[in-house]
Structures are given as structure tokens and as C-alpha cells.
Amino acid sequence: MAEVKSWDEVYAIVLKHVRDVLPELQSHAFQPSDSLRELGANSIDRADIVMEVMETLSLDIPRVELLGPRCIGELVDLIHAKLGNA
Amino acid sequence: MSVVGIEAMNVFGGTARIGVIELMDHRGLDTKRADNLLMVERSVALPQEDPISFAVNAAKPLIDALSPAERDRIELLITCSESGIDFGKSMSTYVHHYLGLNRNCRLFELKQACYSGTAGFQMAVNFILSQTSPGAKALVIATDIARAVLPEGVELSMLRNSEWGYAEPSSGAGAVALLVSDTPRVFQVDVGANGYYGYEVMDTCRPVPDGDVGDSDLSLMSYLDCCENAYLEYAKRVDGADYASTFQYLVFHTPFGGMVKGAHRTLMRKLSKADRQSIENDFNTRVMPGLDYCQRVGNIMGATVFLSLASTIDRGDYSSARRLGCFSYGSGCCSEFFSGVVQPASQQLLAQQRIDDGLNQRVLLNVEEYDQLMIANRPVRFGVRDLTLDPHGDRYIGAMAKPRPLLYLSQVAGFHRKYEWVA
């Protein structure tokens, strides 16, 4: 069962997995408005990040429900809502 | 009586190919992280090649190896494709003609994006299992091309740094022919061991005759969702199935290698809780043998999962019998996980088709030649009524070292296609 997390906690978890998948961004100063695509993540990288975030949060939903966000902040908004914080 | 599967199979990957990284560079695409896409080359269809010529060229050696009595037992011929040339008339009718098969044979075509080959295969398997015509054989040919055509009004220079053709580097051309019968010398199906999973999703499609439209992120997510759920359904039906240990090899529908690597990693994490390094080792052992041909031909849609099966059989170690788990996905979508057994003798039989040699014999194009083909391909658009081509004088067809005569499109007259054998 997914645990309820604050927006900031979800944001921190997303950034951790972005850095895991894209180690070259280790020292990047992230903004919620950053786009993963523009940071150099291809579709495989983006799917990996989403998978790892879902796993960390024990979020068990179809992956297709996490499509649409255009930046990291929007992805956090969506995941935060899916965790029951809507 | 429940023995069924693939008696013989063959791959035809066309006459020409191009290097994928070179093509991506030419289009101004970022190749910095291209290594993890695991793509090498793709086949390129010539104007004289269409899904019918590909299908016949894949199946011809299988038919030639049969006695006349065996050939006459082919009672079902299914073409599986999303590249059809007519909304009514099935490509199987042309294939039937050029292969010289018995007229007491069911001829039709079916479609469900990249799942079509599996759909046709499963229908053939059930035809054999039903024993309504004992001893009959079925010929299933998955054949697909993504023809590189420069749209009217578009200049070649406009393709650089554009969103045009997101799938251009990964789309191939080719066909895989499967002879399905009750003597499964190449791949014996585990009867009833099937997990299927499908739903409506608009990920990639062909809403117009000569163009693909797609959302690569949505398609990837849907593929991953299906990969997991089709396997879970399989595991529900097969006692004791274990993703990490039941299958010595895993065969995937392969749009491009990187996608398969991501899917395998996802499933191994989820189903076996394996760590990063053991997943990497497992990928190299169980999955890589199936990627070789796919990395060289590109995505041939309905035929891709069987291209990967052929690669797995040719490239694996069969010192004893092995069980293969196969995952098929077609956008839109429908998917299936099924399994079967390959014997040591199966590998020797498939080796007779010399698939690897056939892929090496394709003519390697440079990007300028490829761009010129995009213009040369314009007249072969869907719905062409009249057209004359010269397969005998073509420089690429002439340059290919052919171990046997191959069939090429020579004419379209009042929509009717005519083909000629070129030695």
C-alpha cells in the first residue's frame, strides 16, 4: 500500500532517482520547471525514473497513468495526487 | 494429440540496409546517449520491394524443401501485417500464387499492429490442435515494411532537426515465415501456456496509408504494463512458472534493443527482486541472443517477435533442450506471453536457412543513397494504379550477392501487382 507523502518528500524522491539514472546531473541545481527531456533523458531513461519512483513509493498503478507531465514539478504533482493527496 | 509448433522457419531482411547512428547523425538527432538504444542497422525497402515480395522471399526456401505431397497439405495461409496493399484483397492471395500452393487452402490476412504475427501463429496452432483436418499444415507469414518516402512538398533538407519521422532510425523492413504443424522440429509450443492482455490505447498507429503516428512515451509505458500483466496471466495458468528460472532464454518484440533492456530490467526487479548487476548478467545471458537480428533489421512490426525467436535459436546454446519465454506486443493494444521448447536438432535445422549470411549480403547504403531512395519510393505509394519498375536493371538488386533467385515487384497494371524472379 502506498504511503502518504508530502509534495516535498515526493520531489526529493524523484530527484534522487533522476540523479541515479542520469549521474551526469549530480551537481545540477534542479528546478520544478526542469524538463527531463531537455536535461538529456531519452524515453528509456524517463521510464526508468518513473519505475524507480513507483517502486520506492510502493505505487502500484498502470504506468500509462503517469504520462503527460511536461516538467519535473508536474510529474511530482501527478504522483502526489495518485498517492491519495489530491 | 497435442504436439504442435514450428516445423520450419525463415527470415528475409531485404536487399539494402543503412547504419542507424549514421542516419541519426544525418538527421541532426542527438547520438550522445544512442549506445543505450542498442541499434546497429536497419533494412531499407527498395521501390521493387513490398510486403508481398518480402513474404514470398521468406517462405520460398521452406516450400522448396517440402515434397509435393507435403506442400499440398498446407491448408491455411495467413499473412500478418500492418502494411497491407489493399483494404479488401489479402496479400496472402499473391503469396499463394507465387509459392504455387494447393488451391484447397484458406487464404486471409490479419492485423493488430506488431501483435499480428503472434495472432496468426496462435490461430494456426489452434487449427492444428483442433484436428479438424489431421496432418494439415499452416503457413503463417508476418511481413511489414516502413517505406521511407519523402512526402510531396517536403525537401530533404527539411528533415534535419525536425520532429519528422521519430521512428525513422528504428523502422525496418522484412518478413518471417513459419510453417506450423504437428511435427514441431524447430519450436514446440507449450500448449495452453499463454497469457494474453489487451485494452484500448492510442500509442502508435497507421491512420493514413503511408504514415505512422505515435507517442513514444505512451507506447513504452503501455509496452511495460503489458509485459508485466501478460506474464502474470501466464504464471496464473502455468503451475510453478518462475520468470527468473523457468526460461533459459527470453524472446521479446523488439522495437529497438534499449526498450527490451528496460522491460527486462523492470520485470526482473519486480518479479525476482534481483539487483542491478545480476539483472545485467541475466540480460546478457538470456536476452541478448535474441537481439542480434533485431539490431540489424530494425523493427519489422508483426514479424519482429519471430525475428527475435530466430535470433535466439541461431545464437543460443542448445547442448540440451531449452525452454523459451516469448513476449509479443502490438500497439493499440494486444499482447501475449507464451512459451515453447527448442531442441539441439532445432538449431541445426534453422542454421540451414543461413539467415545471418542473408543479412550480411544486403547492400550497405550511405545516407545520400538512402535520401535518393526516399524520392524513388514516391511512386510506390499506397493505392498506386499503374507503375512499371525494372528489378533486373536496378543497381542495388544487381549488387546483392543472391544465393537463390529473389522475387521483386516489376509492374502494377490496373492495381494488379506483378512480380519477377531475379537471379
Report the CATH number at residue B246: 3.40.47.10
Which residues of chain B does A64 touch, with a Cβ-Cβ cutoff of 8 Å?
Answer: 201, 218, 221-222, 225
Cell 524472379 locates to B421
Q: What is the largest CA-CA distance in chain B?
A: 61
3-class DSSP state of B130:
helix
pLDDT score of B322 more than 60: yes
The answer to whether the beta carbons of residues B89 and B109 sit under 8 Å apart is: no
The pLDDT of residue A76 is: 95
ipTM of the complex: 0.82
Cell of B310: 530466430
Domain that residue B402 falls in: 5-422
Strand order in the sheet with B249-252: B106-110, B74-80, B137-145, B173-181, B5-12, B187-198, B334-342, B322-330, B249-252
User: Is B200 in CB contact (< 8 Å) with chain A?
Assistant: no
pLDDT score of B140 more than 90: yes
Distance from CA of B242 to the nearest CA of A (A): 21
The pLDDT of residue B36 is: 79
The pLDDT of residue B273 is: 86
Fill in the amino acid letter for B281. Answer: N
For the question of residue B75 being annotated catalytic, the response is no
Which residues of chain A does B215 touch, with a Cβ-Cβ cutoff of 8 Å?
Answer: 67
Q: How far apart are CA B338 and CA B193, in angstroms?
A: 6
More confident residue, B9 or A50: B9
The answer to whether the beta carbons of residues B200 and B181 sit under 8 Å apart is: no
B261 and A44 within 8 Å at the Cβ level: the answer is yes
The string of DSSP codes covering B298-321 is: -B-GGGHHHHHHHHHHHHS--SS-
Distance from CA of B204 to the nearest CA of A (A): 13
Q: At the topology level of CATH, where does A7-85 sit?
A: 1.10.1200
Query: Mind listing the pLDDT tens digit for each residue in B154-185?
Result: 888 888 877 666 688 899 999 999 999 999 99
- Give the one of B30, B37, B262 whose C-beta lies nearest to A47's C-beta: B262
A50 and B221 within 8 Å at the Cβ level: the answer is yes
Q: How far apart are CA B419 and CA B193, in angstroms?
A: 40
The pLDDT of residue B164 is: 64
- Give the one of A40, A43, A55 whose C-beta lies nearest to B220's C-beta: A43
C-alpha distance from residue B417 to each of B98, B388, B413 (Å): 12, 10, 7
3-class DSSP state of A65:
helix
Q: How many CB pairs under 8 A join A and B?
A: 49
Q: How far apart are CA B419 and CA B389, in angstroms?
A: 10
Structural domain count, chain B: 1
More confident residue, B348 or B274: B348
The answer to whether the beta carbons of residues A63 and B225 sit under 8 Å apart is: yes
| Number of continuous H segments (helices) and E segments (strands) in chain B | 14, 17
A64 and B36 within 8 Å at the Cβ level: the answer is no
A47 and B220 within 8 Å at the Cβ level: the answer is yes
